């Protein structure tokens, strides 16, 4: 018998963890997940944002978008994902650790690497929402918009039952086709800390969507910019929905350093975002989408 309110330590190993439930309930409805649930909503102390920018894993996405203590990229990404109804219920932890949205994974009719199978049916099927950067056996793309945003800050994830690790370490390089992240059984994500936000920095976020599937991006991008005088002193550029993990794009960042923040600079930098792209045929159109989305995200960062 699980008692409430739980502590994070008590939540370990007591069944599949549910925060807002927006992903898990869908998986259970589709028959992909079953068994006991530990509901995290009553775990104490995980629903706050502190002044030193430690964010509890149960903080609602809508609250991330409203908190002016957070840097602009985090707020803009939170306000830009999914729908207002989902943002009001879904949590930071649930968004970071959600499962792939690949329709083959979420169908009862197909086995795939992430369900214990031995193939990726998307490679022989419909894959127009799949990888622009094909890095491994599985070509599904990572679904976490907040993972993209926190990767731009080298944020640190805190766990009960496991070590702290960077967001990059939480996701790995995407080469393991069986996993969406590296969090192990018995580990409970309890929060994320932002440690390198820069006063006065600018941030932009944009996603390209299809009207019929507006919850999930075709391509998305988040950017951070900070300045010395009128020139760009530092930049972080991260792309989502293009690979099995959110991808930081250092080549784009390098093209921005020392330059004036204008349309010509942004266009030159965005153009190199597709270096190394090797899409599956159905997703080849993303070669055109990614530079355009990054360019717009950079322009939005400069807006008041």
Give tens-digit pLDDT for 224-263: 999 999 999 999 999 999 999 999 999 999 999 999 999 9
Give 120-156 pLDDT, tens digit per residue: 999 999 999 999 999 989 999 999 999 999 999 999 9
Q: What is the rounded distance in angstroms from the CA atom of residue 147 to the CA atom of residue 65?
A: 15
- Count CB-CB contacts under 10 A for residue 125: 12
Classify domain 8-107+132-193 by CATH number.
3.30.465.10
Question: Helix 72-80 crosses helix 286-301 at what angle (to 10 degrees)?
Answer: 130
Same fold? 8-107+132-193, 202-301: no
- CA-nearest of 107, 168, 170, 180 to 140 is 180
The residue with tokens 């149960």 is 58
The domain at 202-301 falls in which architecture?
A: 2-Layer Sandwich (3.30)
Residues 76-92: tens digit of each pLDDT: 999 999 999 999 999 99
What are the pLDDT digits (tens) for 256-267?
A: 999 999 999 999
Smallest Cα–Cα separation from 244: which of 176, 179, 174?
174
Give the domain ranges of the chain: 8-107+132-193, 202-301
């Amino acid at each position: 018998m699980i008692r409430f309110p739980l502590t994070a330590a008590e939540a370990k190993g007591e069944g599949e963890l549910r925060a807002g439930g927006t992903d898990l309930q869908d998986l259970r409805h589709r028959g992909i997940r079953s068994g006991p649930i530990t509901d995290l909503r009553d775990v104490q102390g995980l629903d706050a944002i502190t002044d030193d920018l430690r964010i509890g894993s149960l903080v609602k996405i809508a609250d991330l978008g409203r908190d002016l203590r957070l840097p602009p990229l985090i707020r803009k990404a939170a306000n830009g994902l999914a729908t207002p109804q989902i943002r009001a219920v879904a949590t930071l932890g649930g968004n970071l650790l959600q499962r792939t949205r690949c329709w083959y994974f979420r169908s009862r009719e197909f086995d795939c690497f992430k369900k214990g199978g031995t193939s990726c049916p998307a490679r022989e099927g419909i894959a127009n929402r799949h990888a622009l950067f094909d890095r491994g056996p599985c070509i599904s793309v990572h679904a976490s918009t907040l993972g993209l945003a926190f990767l731009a800050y080298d944020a640190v994830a805190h766990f009960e039952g496991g070590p702290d690790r960077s967001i990059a370490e939480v996701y790995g390089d995407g080469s393991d086709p069986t996993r969406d992240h590296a969090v192990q059984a018995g580990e409970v994500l309890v929060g994320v800390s932002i440690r390198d936000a820069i006063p006065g920095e600018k941030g932009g976020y944009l996603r390209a969507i299809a009207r019929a599937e507006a919850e999930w991006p075709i391509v998305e991008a988040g950017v951070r910019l900070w300045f010395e005088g009128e020139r760009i002193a530092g930049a972080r550029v991260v792309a989502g929905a293009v690979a099995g993990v959110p991808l930081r794009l250092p080549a784009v960042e390098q093209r921005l350093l020392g330059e004036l923040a204008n349309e010509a600079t942004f266009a030159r930098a965005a153009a190199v975002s597709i270096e190394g792209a090797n899409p599956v045929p159905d997703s080849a159109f993303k070669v055109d989408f990614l530079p355009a989305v990054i360019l717009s995200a950079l322009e939005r960062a400069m807006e008041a």
